Homo-oligomer: A and B are copies of this chain.
Amino acid sequence: MRPSEGEEASHGSLPPGFVDRDPSGDLLSRTTLADTIVYALTEEIVAKRLPPDAPLDEARLGERFGASRTPVREALRQLAASGLVVLRAHSTPRVAPLDHDRIHDLFDVMAELEALCAMRAATAMSAVQRAELESLHETLGGSMRAGDQAGYRAGNVAFHQLIYAGSRNAYLQELALGTRSRLAPYRGAQLESSARIAASHAEHGAIVSAIVRGESVQAGALMRQHLLATRDALLKLGHGLMPRL
């Protein structure tokens, strides 16, 4: 199995929650044009420079990327598979719309998937991974105290991904990553208030402790709570998003 190291990446501005191709072993391939376009569009959608419902005309995109429509088509197919783009036959592709019910559903499942990861991690993580987790948590504390929000956000993504990997279940890891990337356009790019960051860090601490002590049920419950708190913080921050209930 492959404990993915935190080393990234060839590009400067990484969309949060974005990783290379599926963890099924092959780590290509910026070698095809389509993949390059997928990467670029993902970043733009997540950063909301391409807002929900924005039309994605094949010809214009091809022009923008200096490519023909064929690789653009392939890219749009991949983006549709990952949920960022919707395709209707013979109709112009669009950035996935902002659907409140769907966002609610995504957060709900995200919380459960991450809780499951944390549970598994509590029993399956190697000693080395546990040490890494504690160390990363310390680093995040530093970012928090320094008021470095960007640093905290980047580290936060790594923190969660380390726990996905700790579950030692590659498919679970895929689902968690995929769900996180679907959620990415709705997680504000820089919406974390410093108050929320402090709370987040405290929650992380409890989770790390439970995982390191091997308390599986506790770890899962804390993680679920952490995700729901994150959701509520986002929903409160305007966004126009309201809880469903």
Contact = CB atoms under 8 A, between A and B. Distances in A.
Given A73-B74, A101-B1, A101-B170, A28 B88 contact: yes
A108 B77 CA distance: 29
Interface in A46-81: 73-74, 77-78, 80-81
Interface stretch (A29-37, A154-162, A196-204, A233-241): A29-37
A203 to B, nearest CB: 22
A86 interface: yes
Please state the number of chain copies in the assembly. Answer: 2
Nearest to A97: B24
B169 A105 contact: yes
Contacts of A179: 171
Interface in A83-116: 86-90, 101-102, 105-106, 108-109, 112, 116
A32 B89 contact: yes
Given A74-B73, A81-B78, A102-B170, A24 B108 contact: no
Q: How large is the interface on A (under 10, 10 to 19, 20 to 34, 35 or more residues)?
A: 35 or more
Nearest to A91: B29
A169 B109 contact: yes
Given A29-B88, A74-B77, 20 more contacts: A1-B101, A24-B86, A26-B88, A27-B86, A28-B80, A28-B88, A28-B89, A35-B89, A77-B77, A77-B78, A81-B82, A101-B170, A102-B171, A105-B170, A105-B171, A106-B171, A108-B171, A109-B172, A109-B175, A171-B179
17 contacts: A1-B101, A27-B80, A27-B86, A27-B88, A28-B80, A31-B89, A32-B89, A35-B89, A73-B74, A77-B77, A77-B78, A78-B81, A101-B170, A105-B170, A108-B169, A109-B172, A109-B175
